[in-house]
Amino acid sequence: MKLYDSLTGEKRDFAPKGDEVKMYVCGVTPYSSAHVGHAMSYVYFDTLRRYLEFLGYTVKHVQNFTDIDDKIIVAADSQKTSPVMLVEELVEEYLMDMANLNVQPAHIYPRVTDEIVKIVEMIEGLIEKGFAYESHGDVYYRVTKFEGYGKLSHRTLDGMMAGARVEPNLQKDHAMDFTLWKASKQGEPSWDSPWGPGRPGWHIECSAMAVHYLGGHLDIHGGGQDLVFPHHENEIAQTEAFTGEEPFADHWIHNGLLQIDDGKMSKSFGKMVTVREALSKFSSDGMRLFFLNSHYHSPLAYTDESIEGQQRAAERMQAALDASNIADATAEAVDPAPYRERFMTAMDDDLNTPQALAALFDLTREINRGNDEKKRITAAQETLRELTGVLGLRLYAEEGESARPASPLVELLAEIRQELRDAKQFELADRIRDRLQALGVSLEDGADGTKWRNRSS
């Protein structure tokens, strides 16, 4: 298997040192609802994880929540709530959105506010080694000390200075030095540190959490292309300076960005479609096919028409899985082996999901043709179900009336779940939600109570 590495700028053999693959993916800053651009990124990394597990690897997947940030503080103030309450609500919403997209949960979801001790320890280590310095309660990273600074984004310091608007800051030794610890302002959340009350800078948190949970060397570090600089560039500088180990990650994998109205889908610029808005109109299979029909490294334009087309494609796959005939035991069988080989060849080539899907659509047509010609299709159907599962597609097969739970029963289960939540029996409440999820029913909690819907409808 080969994967493109942003650091070297080429496809490279994927060869982890052991059976366990250490994968860190940068998570969201929960100050508003997750949008479809987030969904695209996490579907790609979910698909990568599923394929690695299909190949026999054990993946340890860590994804953070940046649960303290200027944007969170501003959003909480505007909504007259606390940052903690806002974050809790949005994290729960995010996790449900990902479950509804059939994105597997990460094994560990560290939060910045739970990792302050480890972050402070890393900053102290960088100061001791001369890579960081304190100034008026802030701590900055000294970029001129790290010889490899710019190697991920393929820039020089002079090029960074020429290509960016850098505000003068007399507290810093160099204009490109970046913040590791930020002194708190009046009324802001803060934590004690050797440099006074404050909170971590954005970049240091991921370095500290990755090292804490995965060690100083990762097999995969992932995120959107908009994170290459400065976030991931700064992560490399911090982590390699702290650990003395190089490289920090064997593969830096970055997905292309989702475009809407000729611009990047972004909360900051108000150009966004939330995951919930999209899933109110489209199934998770339609959404995943929309993403996966574009290579993860490429930009993708969001349109309703494109997703509607992919929903119809999912329905064709489902029809092939539902097909049945009474073929004679001596009848010719549809051979799925060439399609499986094409699928794996495509996936091994830098996770080329468009070509992998082309193989599965051809297999779908062959199953339907074989059904019409009274060929044996069971083995081909099993292969189609297995490989679509690798891509995270559900493709629910209807089995009489049991395929869609009766609404009175769902209403009753939703009421029981809410009573359990009110009684703070969250584990039991989550089990009900997860079992309904497995049956194709989404529960959505809102200010006006819990609503449910069939995802396949």
Token digits of residue 435: 């079992």
349: which 2 tokens?
Answer: 């080539």
Strand extents, DSSP E, 237-367: 249-255, 258-260, 263-264, 300-301
Give the closest residue to 97 by CA, choosing from 21, 50, 27, 49: 27
Average pLDDT over the chain reads 90
Nearest CA to 166 among 156, 157, 158, 176?
176
- The pTM score is 0.85
Judged by average pLDDT, the poorest of 164-168, 188-192, 313-317 is: 164-168
pLDDT of 116 > 60? The answer is yes
Integer Cα distance of 58 and 271 in angstroms: 37
> How large a percentage of the chain has pLDDT more than 90?
76
Binning pLDDT at 50, 70 and 90, where does residue 168 land?
low
What is the structure's pLDDT at 439? 66
Which two tokens mark 287?
């959404």
**Statement: residue 287 has pLDDT above 80:** yes
Furthest-apart CA atoms within the chain: distance in Å: 84
Reported for 417-423, long-range contacts at CB under 8 A and 24+ positions apart, including other chains, are: 417/443, 417/450, 418/449, 418/450
Q: At a CB cut-off of 8 Å and minimum separation 6, what does 263 contact?
A: 269, 271
CB-CB neighbours of 438 under 10 Å: 10
User: Which domains does the chain carry?
Assistant: 16-264 (3.40.50.620), 304-397 (1.20.120.640), 402-454 (no CATH)
Split at pLDDT 50, 70, 90, the class of 401 is very low
> Do 157 and 230 meet the contact criterion of CB atoms below 8 Å apart?
no
Tens of pLDDT along 33-92?
999 999 999 999 999 999 999 999 999 999 999 999 999 999 999 999 999 999 999 999
Among 300-314, 322-336, 387-401, 415-429, the range with the most confident prediction by mean pLDDT is 300-314
Evaluate if residue 457 carries a pLDDT over 60: no
C-beta of residue 219 within 8 angstroms of C-beta of residue 57: no
Q: Quote the pLDDT of residue 442.
A: 74
Per-residue model confidence (pLDDT) at position 453 = 65
